[in-house]
Structure 1
């Protein structure tokens, strides 16, 4: 066992014990963070505007701090971008994490000196939790690859600005940097396809043990290696033993990824965002991701059914229930206050608090009042794939067809790029549709009432989603294809790209 693997064992044990200490007092820890955050920001512009000096209880906090999204915070962000201090948090941000928004254009999310450990330490602790539980650490002595965005920074109002993955790249611990791939120069390449070929050049003959990235882009990396070598990934990288991923639900990609690898390996799921690192998989045995309640973030939860109410119900951690969908709201030492992330989560445990990410609050189909969400379509697809084990899905998205030709009933259209098609496509579609009616009573009512007809499956040619993302300027990095749309913007673009 090498020095890195050896030294990681006591550190992993220490982190696991520290984690357990705050887990057993999660409610108290969260209240302590609420009090500390308000006190620290009392003399900022936001703190003065919202009378932080008068906040003593959670009820007063809710009254003073409304739920906001980026658009609502834009005025304060504009002051930060102009180089001003003490706006949302004392001083100036350390970074702006630059990310694309669906309605706000480019978003500039502040990351402060106090909040950067949340991003960096959480990623580290996810790996250490894995080591503490499994006692496996030999992978640390081999090569590690993080498929991420460019670490090149610009400046905005005197604040370093870049993609979150690029910012994080600057904070990789020194003891891992010697093992990290690709090279800094390659990581700085902006064009994803040029960058990917260069990454393969640098890694293909290396003892890769850990590979990390968003599943669709990891799959693209695997596909190109297989095309180049004619071998499964396990034969190219016999040391490969740990896959770390986040950003999208892994299930639709699982079969294809493992088929490409050629063996099953351990994996760790992460839940990072520009606004904070919220959760990670702390156990290979338990379902869900551990919500990080002691990391500079005060969490609130809005029941999904109340989210669009004028005054939605807001809950603290001690009020949540297992199995219910909540919109995630955070206040943090990055200077975000009552900030709606846009994600929906569901608790699978409250001892400790573990979650699943179930979708996006604005990514749903409700063209007919059905309000089908991401979790439901992913479960329906997984159900069908279990019954048709030959099927491998590369990527998919779903959109409504409100005005079909020739007077037929409206339907949901599924655009799917298959690596391996169903032997019986008609039965595959029926299995998805049947499971969706079981999961969503409104969809079931619309089908039974002849308002909607059975979904339509549109298989796409190879690389359709890559071509779509390339045309949209979003190929690679942390970009993801939306699973659900309430319009046909994505659907129409995919249709133009020559369906099969």
Structure 2
């Protein structure tokens, strides 16, 4: 065992002791975070406009601060972007994390000197809790690769601007820099395919032990490594590969193919980072749920997903949530986001400690007929049947087909790129449909009531989603294909890739 690995174990034990101090007292930790946020933002423009000085409780806060998305907060954010100080948080942000919006165009998410350390601490602690639980620390002595966006930043009105992963790349501690790959020069390559090829050339002969990235882009990296090495499995290229750290999408639809590429199972850690804050991470190899970070400078609110589009939806604090119910997540942060609807849905599977599963996007659903099918349901339906039959899924998305060109009842149209395709597509489609009916009673009623016909699966050509994302200018980095759409934009684009 190397020196870094030996030192990491007592450090991990120390950090976990600190985590345990708030882990089982999360509601109290949230109350402390709430009061600190209100106190420190009381003299900002937002705080004055919403009378923070008189807020004594969460009930007071809900009366004064509505839930808003980015567009709702944009009048304040635009002032921050223009360089004005003390608008939503004290002073000016350290950075803006630039992300793509749908209706908003580019979005500038403020990151403050108080919030940035929380991003770094959470990423570190995810690895340290793994070391503490498993005793496996050898990965810190080898190379670690992070497939991410470019670290190149621009400056807007005196504030550095970049992708979140690129900002973080500039702040990696010095003791990890020697182990970290790819090189800065390679990481700055903007074109994703050129970048992946350069990363392959740089890493193929290294002692890679940890890989981090979004599953579909990690799979592309693995495919090109295999091609480069003449067909070798990843385990034969990186003999000491131990750990896969991922976030952004559900890993399960990709797991079979990725583990097939590796040639064996390896440990994995799911994380839930967002530009707005690092929200949760998997803290046990025996439990796939994620520990909600209750003392990370964010106060969380939860809206029952079924009420989200109501005029006055119920807003709950952490101690008020129930298990196994989907909630839209709302953030209040130490970077100055207030009542901010992040767009994700989560479900609690434990309240002692508070642990969640990320179940989808509040705007990514199909409800063309009132069924409100969500991401968690379609992923379960497809993955569970594929797993039972030993099939692998590269990627998929689902959309409604309201006016079938062939006539007949409308249906849900699934576009699936298989790694290993079913021998009998009709039987496979039927099983997926029946599984979805079991998960969603409204969908079941529409099928049995002859309002909808069972779902239709369109098998796509190899690399269909890569080609689609390339055409959209969204290949690589943190970009993801929406699993569900309530319109036909993605579906119509993919129709030309069907087999």
Short-chain TM bin: over 0.9
Q: Does 1:262 align with 2:256?
A: no
> Who is 1:143 aligned against?
143
Secondary structure of 1:405 counterpart? coil
> Who is 1:284 aligned against?
285
Q: Deviations over 1:359-412 (max 9, x none)?
A: 0000000111111000000010122113211x1110000001000124311011
1:372-387 to structure 2, matched below 5 A, reads 372-387=373-388
> Who is 2:97 aligned against?
97
> Who is 1:358 aligned against?
359
Q: CA deviation at 1:221?
A: 0.3
Answer whether contact 1:118 1:296 (CA < 8 A) is retained: yes
Secondary structure of 1:108 counterpart? strand
Q: CA deviation at 1:423?
A: 1.7
Query: Following the alignment from structure 2 to structure 1, what is the Cα–Cα distance between the partners of residues 199 and 254?
Result: 22
Q: Deviations over 1:2-57 (max 9, x none)?
A: 12111111110011100000112211110111100000000101001101011111
Answer whether contact 1:80 1:157 (CA < 8 A) is retained: no
Q: Deviations over 1:446-493 (max 9, x none)?
A: 111111111111011111100111111110000000000000100111
Q: Deviations over 1:296-352 (max 9, x none)?
A: 000111111111111110111111111111000110101000111100000111110
> Who is 2:494 aligned against?
494
Greater CA drift, 196-205 or 376-385: 376-385
Query: Following the alignment from structure 2 to structure 1, what is the Cα–Cα distance between the partners of residues 343 and 448?
Result: 32
Q: Deviations over 1:425-463 (max 9, x none)?
A: 111111100001111111111111111111111011111
> Who is 1:187 aligned against?
187
Secondary structure of 1:36 counterpart? helix
Query: Following the alignment from structure 1 to structure 2, what is the Cα–Cα distance between the partners of residues 432 and 204?
Result: 39
> Who is 2:409 aligned against?
409
Secondary structure of 2:285 counterpart? coil
> Who is 1:50 aligned against?
50
Query: Following the alignment from structure 1 to structure 2, what is the Cα–Cα distance between the partners of residues 128 and 407?
Result: 57
**Structure 1 gaps, min length 5:** none
Secondary structure of 2:399 counterpart? strand
- Give the root-mean-square deviation of aligned CA atoms: 0.8
Q: CA deviation at 1:174?
A: 1.1
Query: Following the alignment from structure 1 to structure 2, what is the Cα–Cα distance between the partners of residues 166 and 287?
Result: 27
> Who is 1:133 aligned against?
133
Q: Deviations over 1:216-256 (max 9, x none)?
A: 00000001111222100000100101000000000100000
> Who is 1:346 aligned against?
347
1:73-222 to structure 2, matched below 5 A, reads 73-222=73-222
Answer whether contact 1:392 1:418 (CA < 8 A) is retained: yes
Normalising by structure 1, we get a TM-score of 0.99
**Structure 2 gaps, min length 5:** none
Answer whether contact 1:358 1:374 (CA < 8 A) is retained: yes
Q: CA deviation at 1:211?
A: 0.3
Answer whether contact 1:287 1:348 (CA < 8 A) is retained: no
Query: Following the alignment from structure 1 to structure 2, what is the Cα–Cα distance between the partners of residues 14 and 292?
Result: 17
Q: Deviations over 1:155-207 (max 9, x none)?
A: 11211000000001011111111000000000000000000000000000000
Query: Following the alignment from structure 1 to structure 2, what is the Cα–Cα distance between the partners of residues 406 and 169?
Result: 51
Answer whether contact 1:4 1:175 (CA < 8 A) is retained: no
Query: Following the alignment from structure 1 to structure 2, what is the Cα–Cα distance between the partners of residues 10 and 228?
Result: 40
Secondary structure of 1:444 counterpart? helix
Q: Deviations over 1:87-113 (max 9, x none)?
A: 000000000000012221111000000
Normalising by structure 2, we get a TM-score of 0.99
Q: CA deviation at 1:150?
A: 0.1
Secondary structure of 2:241 counterpart? coil
Query: Following the alignment from structure 2 to structure 1, what is the Cα–Cα distance between the partners of residues 3 and 222?
Result: 30
Q: Deviations over 1:259-309 (max 9, x none)?
A: 000000100000000011000001111230000001100011111111111
